Amino acid sequence: MKIEFIDLKKQYQSLKNELDGAIARVLDKGIFVLGEEVENFSREFARFCGAKHCIAVASGTDALYLSLKALGVGKGDEVITAPNSFVATAMAISLTEAKPVFIDINPLTYNIDAAKIEEKITPKTKAIIPVHLYGQPADMDEVFEIASKYNLKILEDACQAHGAEYKNKKTGTLGDIAAFSFGPPKPLGAYGDGGAVVTNDDALAEKVSIYKNYGAPKRDNYLLVGINSRLDALQAAILKVKLKYLDKWNEMRRNNAKLYDRYLEGVAEITRPMILSHNRSAFHLYVVRARNRDSLAEYLKTKQIPALIHYPRPIHLQSGYAALGYKKSDFPVTERAAEEILSLPIFPELLENEIGYIAENIKRFYGL
């Protein structure tokens, strides 16, 4: 049996007529940048999140960067986040010329350990970026309490958590502003790059809209130095079709996670994901901790089961961030996790017999 890590072809085939129709509509209209398609998707994604505003942009990285710019983050500022995210989280901070300040993670959820945030706050601290890693929301109540105490802004990195919920509220509305990515593998994925900024704050929405359009609220009126970051109309039309199915797909992912949990129960060498009772994860990834992780991954590969590592080297140990002065052992929980975590295939169309095949081979590797 050959397993895909994520099978986007299956998803396309299930929606082929709708997606082909949406693409043809854009081609017939001949409007490929901005326009009605982008406006319609932005309005519907804002409604989906329960937010006032959605500003569609070119990528999740741009969404993070533009959110920080709108919050006034710049040279000399500090922004607190976790070191075990995708590098784009820290990169967005660096692009504003601010400094990323890392906090170790909760060993159970892999999200930022909110109890450790306060000790890293300085007069230069401007914002906190809690990452909803793998699709599970971070501990937002504690983050909010600290941010309120020190007058800090909260930027949700929701790039892996489309439709996830924290205490019955969808991600995107849990801080001052939020960033989403629509890269193809994401729970809501385009057929290319794409992203969005979501907020309930009118002023922040206006700033993002200006920054992402060359710094101009309207043509030939450049108020500031901005960038060109616009979601293509084709991608907006595709995302609008897919958005109708996102809640259903997330439920299918959650059901597949439960199947994994059941099939892997009793395997002492595997630590399954812990989802907090007040959270509903989008399960962008199903990440376990595994004894002899690298050997297991190689064994699974021989059985045509792709298992990936998200992420094998924490950001604070990347060469690009050597100037920050961090060293190995600075964030022991993050570093240990990086040596043990393994992402198993999970997507809505993954079948129970495929999950059973994966689990059986994991057991076989451990001699069970």
- Assign residue 184 the CATH number of its domain: 3.40.640.10
Pick from 243, 264, 280: which residue ends a domain?
A: 243
In this structure, the answer to whether residues 35 and 138 fall within a common structural domain is: yes
CATH number at residue 293: 3.90.1150.10
Regarding whether 209 and 269 lie in a shared domain, the answer is no
Instruction: Say if 3 falls within a structural domain.
Output: no
Residue 80 placed within a domain: yes
pTM over 0.85: yes
The answer to whether 279 and 137 have CB atoms below 8 angstroms apart is: yes
Are both 173 and 273 inside the same structural domain?
no
Q: Is residue 2 part of a domain?
A: no
Same domain for 185 and 209?
A: yes
167: annotated active-site residue? no
| 308-357 tens-digit pLDDT | 999 999 999 999 999 999 999 999 999 999 999 999 999 999 999 999 99
What's the whole-number mean pLDDT along residues 200-223? 93
User: What is the overall mean pLDDT for the chain?
Assistant: 97
| Structure tokens that stand for 100 in this block | 């990323």
Residue 311 forms part of a structural domain: yes
**1 belongs to a structural domain:** no
pLDDT value for 34 = 87
**pLDDT for position 236:** 98
* pLDDT for res 24: 97
Percent of the chain with pLDDT strictly greater than 90: 96
Count of domains in the chain? 2
Same domain, 49 and 159: yes
Instruction: State the catalytic residue, choosing from 186, 207, 212, 240.
Output: 186
List, in sequence order, the alpha helices (H) in the chain: 8-14, 16-29, 36-49, 60-70, 88-95, 140-150, 202-211, 233-243, 246-263, 293-302, 332-340, 352-365
- What is the arithmetic mean of pLDDT over 203-211? 97
**Is 55 a member of any domain?**
yes
Q: Are residues 72 and 193 in the same domain?
A: yes
Chosen domain end from 243, 268, 291 = 243
Asked, for residue 139, whether it belongs to a domain, the answer is yes
Distance CA 176, CA 62 (A): 17
pLDDT of 217 above 90: no
Co-location of 331 and 286 in the same domain:
yes
H-helix or E-strand spanning residue 344:
strand 341-344
User: Is the same domain home to 187 and 309?
Assistant: no
For residues 311 and 235, state if they share a domain. Answer: no
Mean pLDDT value across residues 150-160: 98
Q: Are residues 21 and 123 in the same domain?
A: yes
Model confidence at 258, pLDDT cuts 50, 70, 90, reads: very high
On whether residue 28 sits in a domain, the answer given is: yes
Domain shared by 90 and 220, yes or no = yes
Stretch 209-228: mean pLDDT: 91
List CB contacts of 368: < 8 A, sequence separation 6 or more. 267
Residues 9-36: tens digit of each pLDDT: 999 999 999 999 999 999 999 998 889 9
Tokens 């059973």 identify what position? Answer: 356
Range of the domain at 255: 246-365
Q: Are 249 and 7 in contact (CB under 8 A)?
A: no
Q: Could you tell me the pLDDT band of residue 84, with boundaries at 50, 70 and 90?
A: very high
- Residue after which a domain boundary falls, among 243, 258, 292: 243
Are 198 and 49 in contact by the 8 Å Cβ rule? The answer is: yes
Q: What is the CA radius of gyration of the chain?
A: 21
Same domain, 90 and 206: yes
